Structure 1
């Protein structure tokens, strides 16, 4: 059902939904557009509307081939909308859902495009704050690049900042998507350009591996890993590319590359990646990496069954529960220092060759524990059998034994 957006635009068809709002295929004075209509509860927030208007000049001035340009910002009654260029294609999450992972050459080409777009945004003083595959669009009508990659454009600029108003989040909340949040955001520091580099490096890792380096399981565990864990190596990629990933996933923001440097370095690596197939690694099981304690009053699962964690919880008031940590613009409490310090300090979610069991994983430990139980049970049975045999043999001997024979099998007396 069509609806008017302000006086100049008409929204005709829903293209997608997120926790911040709905994207519509629309029509404007200059042709087709994409309209991001924010949730009604956000539109009714007068402080947010004021910030929306303040950001207008910066967002309208951001013009780059690898950025989905914002054409207009509409404030009309209960409608709060960003009108953007329409990209004929799909988003990177859809591509990942289909292919699971990309060949290194294509992955690097896509991320280099996004880094170019971030470089222009950072030069204009704009931090995206929610870089992830859902916000990277692939232009199917553009020319193919290295590895057959379609041109990549970054969208949803400004939305995270608009929602992150002081009244809505205060100093105890963080805005973002758990899988891609930089450590300094988790620790409650203000977001700078380096948070986008960390998130983009996480996207590159995901394109190569098929999973994010610190994701999986409850959002609280994901946030803790960002702060306390080191990224696990990916087998099968050139060392130059791995070192670049490690640098951009550094815990210290100052250690990361700038967006323009990242784009240039990635393009330098493209020739050595030509023809490389996608990596063949298995994702660590997100439900078995951590075994929570059994809550008081609950019975532990039967022996041999894996302990599974509860699903992800909704992080935005009014949002539906989801199984993924990739919801857009989630709001979450900043963990306390003791919470961040909890858990092991080491390498998290270690990838492994396809089909191989990861030593030290919860599944590996569960199997080892079951083996120990089985071995212990077998030992008890064996000891009982040996004892019974010894008793039977002794009883049989005693029946026909002489007093001297009996004494030889009895303990010596003082």
Structure 2
């Protein structure tokens, strides 16, 4: 059913839902548009509406081939909406759900597009603050890029900042998606451009591996890993690409590249990635090893035929999220962990990707294999020990046995 949005736009059908609102296919004076209608509780917040209007100039002025442009901002009664360019395609999360991981050339090309979009935003003084696959759209109508990739555009600029108003959140709150949050946000520092670089490096890691480097399990555990753990190498990718990922996933914001540098470096790597197949690595178990009992299976049963696979980074964290939504609710608000909470349970290194079929170190399967090996070694030791004792006893019996009477010896002389 069609509905009017302000005096210039008509929304016809829902394209997807997110944590901040609902995206509609709409029509405006200049043709088809996408209309993001923010949640009613947001539109009723007068402080947020005022901030929304203040951000109008920055959002409307952000134009780039790899950014979904905002054409208009509508404040009309209970309606608070962003009118954006309509991208004919899908989002990167949907692509990941279908393919699990991408070939390195396509993954790097998509990340380079997003980095170019971020560079334009950062130059205009705008920090995205919620870079994730759900907020990357793929233009299916444009020409194909390296590795058969579609042109990537970053969307939802300003939404996280609009939601994160002083009245709605306190300094002790975190706004964002746990899998992609930079360590400085977890520690309560204000977000700067470097948080987008960290999030984009996390997205690139996910495109290559099929899972995020620090995700899985309870959101609080994910936040702690961002601060306390280091990422381990992905097997099978060139060292130059890995070093680039490591630099952009650095805990210290100053150590990360700027968006323009990252985009240029990624494009330089494309020739060496040509023809390389997707990586063959297994996803670590969803729950951290320390949170599961020794005898509890770590891996979930396979999904029923025809059902989509729910992977890390797409886990609903907002109450009432619907798994069928194309733009999944992964945006959440959490308390900033205290320093002792961040220090607790640190393992030093994130759960390592591994060759397909091999158990992850620290997992229940790995512990079971280790126990069996230890038991086998113990049994072998007992057998060897028993054999050694038997040999020693036999030798001792030979040394202490009385001389045998052959029947030819002379009687003892008294």
**Category of TM-score, reference length = shorter chain:** 0.7 to 0.9
Question: What corresponds to 2:204 in structure 1?
Answer: 204
Instruction: Tell me what 2:238 maps to.
Output: 238
Match of 1:255 in 2: 255
The answer as to whether partners of 1:315 and 1:331 remain within 8 angstroms in 2 is no
Name the counterpart of 2:219. Answer: 219
Name stretches of at least 5 consecutive residues in structure 2 with no aligned partner.
301-311, 387-414
Q: Report if the CA contact (8 A) 2:176-2:333 is conserved.
A: yes
CA, structure 1 residues 344+203, in 2 after alignment: closer, same or farther (shift >3 Å)?
same
Q: CA deviation at 1:360?
A: 2.7
Between the aligned partners of 1:88 and 1:132, the Cα distance in structure 2 is 19
RMSD: 2.7
Return the TM-score normalized by structure 1.
0.83
Match of 2:297 among 284, 306, 326: 306
Inter-partner Cα distance in structure 2 for 1:304 and 1:122:
49
The whole-number CA distance in structure 2 between the counterparts of 1:315 and 1:328 is: 5
Aligned to 1:343: 345
Aligned partner of 2:361 in structure 1 is 359
Partner residue of 2:111? 111
CA-to-partner distance for each residue in 1:268-321, whole Å, 9 max, x for gaps? 00111111011000011112x33338xxxxxxx7x8443799x999755x5449
1:6-405 equivalent positions in 2, closer than 5 A: 6-287=6-287, 289-292=288-291, 304-306=295-297, 316=318, 319-320=320-321, 327-369=329-371
Once residues 315 and 65 of structure 2 are traced to their aligned partners in structure 1, the CA distance between those partners, rounded to angstroms, is 37
2:321–2:329 CA contact under 8 A, matched in 1: no
Please give the alpha-carbon distance, in whole angstroms, between the structure 1 residues aligned to 2:104 and 2:95: 14
In 2, Cα distance between equivalents of 1:217 and 1:321:
19
Partners of 1:95 and 1:307 lie apart in 2 by 26
CA separation in 2, counterparts of 1:346 and 1:122?
32
Q: Distance in 1 between matches of 2:374 and 2:27?
A: 67
Q: Is the 8 A contact 1:313 1:321 kept in 2?
A: no
Distance 2:92 2:315 in 1: 24
SS at 2:345 equivalent: coil
Aligned equivalents of 1:308 and 1:352: distance in 2? 15
- Separation of aligned partners in 2, 1:3 and 1:238: 51
Calculate the TM-score normalised by the size of structure 2. Answer: 0.83
User: What SS does the aligned partner of 1:286 have?
Assistant: coil
Query: CA offset at residue 59 of structure 1?
Result: 0.1
How many residue pairs match? The answer is 369
Q: CA deviation at 1:255?
A: 0.2
Moved more, 358-367 or 213-222: 358-367
Q: Which moved more, 1:358-367 or 1:229-238?
A: 358-367
Q: Using the alignment, how far apart are the partners of 1:291 and 1:321 within structure 2?
A: 30
Give the Cα–Cα distance (whole angstroms) in 1 for the partners of residues 298 and 256 of structure 2: 38
